[in-house]
Amino acid sequence: MAEEDDLIERDAPDAESEDDDRAYALEKRTVAAILAAVDEGDAAKLTELMEPLHQADIADLLEQLKAYDRRRLIELYGPEFDGEILSELDEGIREEVLAFLPSHVLADAVREMDSDDVVDLLEDLDEPQQEAILGALDESERLVIEQALTYPEYSAGRLMQREVVIAPEHWTVGQAIDHMRSSDDLPDHFYHVILVDPRLHPVGQVSLGNIMRSRRDTGLMELTDDLFRAIPVDQYEGDVAYAFNQYHLISAPVIDDDGRLVGVITMDDAMAVLDEEHEEDILRMAGVSDEASLSDTILEAAKGRATWLFVNLLTAILASFVIDIFANSINQLVALAVLMPIVASMGGNAGTQTMTVAVRALATRDLTAQNALRVIWREVAVGAFNGALFGTVMAAVVAVWFQVPMLAAVIGVAMFFTQVAAALGGILIPMALDKARIDPALASGPFVTTVTDVVGFFAFLGLASWVLL
């Protein structure tokens, strides 16, 4: 028994341990012990091994396992399944896990979840699965969830939780503390007590820290936070996340069209939205579906990438037409074919660098109409500097390599123009797409690549044909 306990013990981080090469990753021996318990059908041992793990770690474990092992683990561990695990799972795996869970286990798991997590869970399910989960809830809980689902997708109404701690604006600290101590249905986690008037309009909020450090006879209105923002229920969740990040909010009340309190959004939910938007931007800039995950099937992954690969194919054909215009020049001077990839590669990388900066600045709202000209000028200056620098370097290399001074001059000038064009395209294209209300992260890449390739090839081959041939 001592040996088994030693097997599952989590050691302190050790730089020399192969299991500790990634902080907070599940150790290989822990996963191996869990799979061994599954193979043996030992539910008690499995529960003992899983009990110390956080719900997020269990979700990671389920995502990493093969479908066969995942199903066996869930069937054996089912009665202990925690609802928080569902909220941590990747969407693709979550549907599979829901199908494996017995209805009574699923019902118990869903009842443990906050209302915002239940709404998030239901959003991506088919109607029969939604009905099965809603049917497991009490009537009052079901009505709350169904109302939340009537709000627009990606709105504050979908993001908020309905479990709120409120107090009349005339209460004192002592009354608030007595109320919280005697209440049986406080949320598991909350950061503020929201003060409301008789019409349930939020008029301020008091942090728990201020309540605990103040005298009992102190009025709550004397302790309200200086920064108090009520969020409209139909506000886009991206704007909500921006407000939390911009103003360092911990929680904020949500109000309906009449200004009445309907829920609260907490920092963890807002940051999850921010994280999702960053992930979507990264995937879209790479031409991958924003719903892509490692759990996708081969067909799903291929479909998610095919659209922008096709667009890239069309832009590559356009660049090839430019090359074809100068086919005779290339035939007469083979060195042009050797050097073309260098010009295209440098231009493409420069364009991608500028585009990434621009897309990120647009997403964080740092790039605005007020500073657009200054940012454009800065990027063009950076492109000109790098163009002059690497154009000079490449000219020196070509002069030594091919012993043709004019060819060296041509590639130096072409490199300069390509870098400037890449900088302009990298900043102007995302701005234009954003102005047209098209996601710049989704569409910028192919257009920037086209600009850099066309300008690079045209500048290099055109100059070479004019000067050398």
Non-local CB neighbours of 298 within 8 Å, separated by 6+ positions: none
Whether residue 259 has pLDDT greater than 90: yes
The model's pTM is 0.67
Residue 294 has pLDDT above 80, yes or no: no
Q: What pLDDT score was predicted for residue 289?
A: 57
Please say if the pLDDT value at position 454 is more than 80. Answer: yes
Give pLDDT, residue 15: 40
Q: Is residue 78 scored above 70 in pLDDT?
A: yes
The CA distance from 426 to 376, in Å, is 10
Say what the pLDDT of residue 127 is.
77
Residue 196, SS3 per DSSP: strand
- Beta carbons of 225 and 204 less than 8 angstroms apart: yes
Position 390 scores a pLDDT of 94
Encoding tokens for residue 87?
């909220």
Summarised one tens digit per residue, pLDDT across range 326-353 is: 888 888 888 888 898 898 889 888 988 8
Q: Is the pLDDT of residue 220 over 90?
A: yes
The band of 83, judged by pLDDT with boundaries at 50, 70 and 90, is confident
> How high is the mean pLDDT of the chain?
84
Q: What is the pLDDT of residue 283?
A: 65
Residue 154: helix, strand or coil by DSSP? coil
Between the alpha carbon of residue 329 and those of residues 82, 284, 352, 441, the distances in Å are 69, 38, 29, 37
Q: CA angle, corner 269, sides to 265 and 270, nearest 5?
A: 80
Concatenating the DSSP letter of every residue in 291-323 gives: T--TTS-HHHHHHHHHHHHHHHHHHHHHHHHHH
Phi-psi region of 200 (alpha: psi -120 to 50; beta: other; left: phi over 0): left
The confidence score (pLDDT) of residue 82 equals 81
Out of 103-117, 151-165, 420-434, 455-469, which region has the weakest mean confidence (pLDDT)?
103-117
Task: Quote the pLDDT of residue 285.
Answer: 61
Give the Cα separation of 335 and 330 in Å (integer): 8
Nearest to 293 by CA among 26, 81, 458, 93: 93
- What is the model's pLDDT at position 258? 93
Domains of the chain: 2-150 (1.25.60.10), 166-285 (3.10.580.10), 298-468 (1.10.357.20)
- Rounded-to-integer distance, Cα 367 and Cα 388, Å: 27
CA–CA dist 194, 180 (Å, integer) = 13
Give the model's pLDDT for residue 304: 67
Instruction: Give the SS3 label for residue 263.
Output: strand
Residue 467 has pLDDT above 50, yes or no: yes
Positive or negative torsion for Cα 161, 163, 167, 172: negative
Q: Does the pLDDT of residue 284 top 90, yes or no?
A: no
41 conformational bin, left if phi > 0, alpha if psi -120 to 50, beta if neither: left
Q: Is the pLDDT of residue 68 over 70?
A: yes
Does residue 376 contact residue 357 with C-beta atoms inside 8 Å? no
